[in-house]
Every structure is written in structure tokens, then in C-alpha cells.
């Protein structure tokens, strides 16, 4: 259950809700299978097998949103509509108009939807009511917004706010690249993307490429020409590697293999392994995130 991405948000500290009340309110939106008449269904499922809707350990909470979606490609709808249009033309002697085509497409979609295949995905959410963190394992803000929307639907109150830093990630990453080294505790890795401003958004990418002296000079030339970093791979304290984006997203989050081996040493069952992984992951994140925010000038006070 190790997170691979982090969309970060701020919670007031301490967040005034107890675990029992939180779990009771989550139960207002449990997951159920997607009915044949609906394209999508979503709800909370136990993050740990045979557990409740909230996995709690050391004042850290984990929840999971499951989304089931019916897959009905537009190409399948178009093919069926085209076949029916031929029949309609033969029956009425002329092609259907725009309104008739719209109604036909809607009718075809309704008929095909119950027969469509379904796909499920899960998004995990880490909540730290004491430290004020909310982290969603989602690769995009759209996926994270889906989780937040369902949380707001279930909870009486959810005082979540976006996380902002005193210095923008983009300008700070540009300073690190210009200096050729990361801030204290961080090292620059081998992936970097720079984009130019303007409509064309010309981009230069270095993928698994050592950013040595020659490349560093090249990157400084791109920075001088007006390009700014949109992504930069970093490692924190030889324990966590990740890619930081201009929007303060953390992607390709990876924990050192040695950390995972430590979690596996004393686990006698799958449940114990899950708990050990979660404890280790949250412990590392609670040390890593304050240092990352400090490297970006600290957090802006929430409005």
C-alpha cells in the first residue's frame, strides 16, 4: 500500500473530529457495485482487508475510495448509431435531422450501458489530524478532487485547504538547477523538464540523464533563455526519491528498499505487514514533508 503519488492539502491542527465520529460519517457514502443504468459508482471501502472504513495507527488514518466505471467507448456507440441511421433512412426516405440523431445517440447509450464492461480503481487517502496533513495517492488533481468531493459529501464539516509555499516550486527549482545542487538534505537526480512561457510551450526533457557539469551548463543556458522547470527529480536524505512539479505535486514517490525490508522483518501476517508498511510510510512522510516545505520557504498561512 505504499503511496506512489501525493496531492498535498492542509488541515487545521488539531482537526476537531474523533475517529469514531469520522468513521460514522464516512459510512454515509459506502461503495456499492455500479448499477446497469449508471455509468459510474463510487464510495468508501476498507483500506485493509477485513477492516473497517478507517485504518488507524499511531494517530494516523488511512481511507480508500473505490470507483467503478462502465466502459462504453464512443466508437461502439457511433457504430451502432450509424447502423440504425441506415435503417431509419430506408423507412422514412430521408436522413434523420440533428435532433433525431441526438435522441438516437442517447437511446443507444442507454441500451448499451448495462452490457458494458466495468473497471475499478482505488485512491488511498492519508489523514494526519494531529500534524495537519492530508495526502491523496493520485496522479492528477482531477482524481484527487473526486476524493475530496466525496469526503465533503459525507462529512458534516471538512476544513481542507490547498497547500501553498512562500516560494513557488518553479522558481525554487530553477534556483537549485542554476546552483547545480539541491537544498540541505536533498540531492538532484537524473530527470528534469523545462518549459518556455508563451503559447508554444517549448519543452526540454532530460530523462534518466546524469545532470553533470556539461548538462548543468546546458540547463543554465535554457534557464537564461527563459525556460523554467516544470518537473525535477530529487532524493531526500537517501531515503525517499520523488519528482516535484511546478504545482507542488509529488510524483513517482519511492521509498528506499532498505526501509521496506525493515518493515518486512517482523511481520508474521498480511495484516501485520500492512500495519508495518503504513507506520513506516507515515513516519517517513512526517519527517520528509516539513523539510520539503522548509526548502520552499515554508508554508503560507492558510487563508
So what's the pLDDT on residue 104? 83
So what's the pLDDT on residue 212? 67
pLDDT digits over 150-171, tens only? 999 999 999 999 999 999 999 9
CA distance linking residue 226 with residue 196, whole number of Å: 6
Q: How far is CA 189 from the centre of its chain?
A: 22
pLDDT band at 36 (very low <50, low <70, confident <90, very high): confident
pLDDT band at 210 (very low <50, low <70, confident <90, very high): confident
pLDDT digits over 18-34, tens only? 999 999 999 999 999 88
pLDDT band at 303 (very low <50, low <70, confident <90, very high): low
So what's the pLDDT on residue 269? 84
Handedness of CA 134, 139, 144, 145 (dihedral sign): positive
So what's the pLDDT on residue 89? 85
What are the distances in angstroms from CA 112 to CA 67, 73, 120, 189, 190?
20, 10, 19, 49, 47
pLDDT band at 259 (very low <50, low <70, confident <90, very high): low
So what's the pLDDT on residue 258? 67
CA distance linking residue 196 with residue 218, whole number of Å: 15
So what's the pLDDT on residue 199? 64
pLDDT exceeds 80 at position 264: no
Mean pLDDT, the chain, integer: 89
pLDDT band at 302 (very low <50, low <70, confident <90, very high): low
Structural element, H or E, at residue 272: helix 270-295
pLDDT exceeds 90 at position 187: yes
So what's the pLDDT on residue 9? 95
pLDDT exceeds 70 at position 172: yes
Average pLDDT over residues 224-234: 93
Average pLDDT over residues 223-233: 92
Amino acid at each position: 500500500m505504499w503511496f506512489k503519488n501525493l496531492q498535498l492539502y492542509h488541515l487545521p491542527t488539531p482537526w476537531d473530529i474523533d475517529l469514531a465520529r469520522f468513521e460514522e460519517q464516512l459510512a454515509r457514502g459506502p461503495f456499492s457495485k455500479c448499477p446497469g443504468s449508471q455509468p459510474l459508482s463510487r464510495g468508501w471501502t476498507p483500506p485493509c482487508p477485513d477492516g473497517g472504513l478507517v485504518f488507524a495507527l499511531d494517530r494516523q488514518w488511512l481511507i480508500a475510495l473505490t470507483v467503478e466505471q462502465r466502459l462504453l467507448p464512443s466508437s461502439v456507440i457511433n457504430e451502432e448509431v450509424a447502423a440504425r441511421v441506415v435503417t431509419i433512412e430506408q423507412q422514412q426516405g430521408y436522413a434523420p435531422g440533428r435532433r433525431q440523431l441526438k435522441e438516437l445517440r442517447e437511446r443507444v447509450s442507454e441500451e448499451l450501458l448495462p452490457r458494458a464492461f466495468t473497471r475499478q480503481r482505488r485512491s488511498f487517502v492519508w489523514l494526519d489530524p494531529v500534524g495537519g496533513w492530508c495526502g491523496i495517492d493520485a496522479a492528477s488533481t482531477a482524481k484527487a478532487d473526486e476524493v475530496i468531493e466525496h469526503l465533503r459529501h459525507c462529512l458534516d464539516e471538512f476544513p481542507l485547504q490547498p497547500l501553498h509555499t512562500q516560494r513557488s516550486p518553479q522558481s525554487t527549482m530553477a534556483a537549485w538547477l542554476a546552483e547545480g545542487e539541491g537544498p540541505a538534505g536533498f540531492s538532484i537526480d537524473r530527470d528534469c523538464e523545462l518549459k518556455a512561457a508563451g503559447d508554444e510551450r517549448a519543452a526540454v526533457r532530460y530523462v534518466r540523464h546524469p545532470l553533470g557539469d556539461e548538462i548543468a551548463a546546458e540547463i543554465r543556458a535554457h534557464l537564461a533563455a527563459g525556460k523554467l522547470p516544470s518537473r525535477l527529480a530529487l532524493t531526500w536524505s537517501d531515503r525517499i526519491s520523488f519528482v516535484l512539479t511546478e504545482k507542488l505535486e509529488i510524483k513517482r514517490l519511492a521509498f528506499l528498499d532498505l526501509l521496506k525490508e525493515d518493515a518486512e522483518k517482523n511481520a508474521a501476517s498480511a495484516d501485520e505487514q500492512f500495519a508495518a508498511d503504513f507506520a513506516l510510510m507515515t513516519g517517513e512522510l512526517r519527517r520528509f514533508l516539513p523539510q520539503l516545505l522548509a526548502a520552499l520557504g515554508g508554508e503560507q498561512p492558510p487563508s
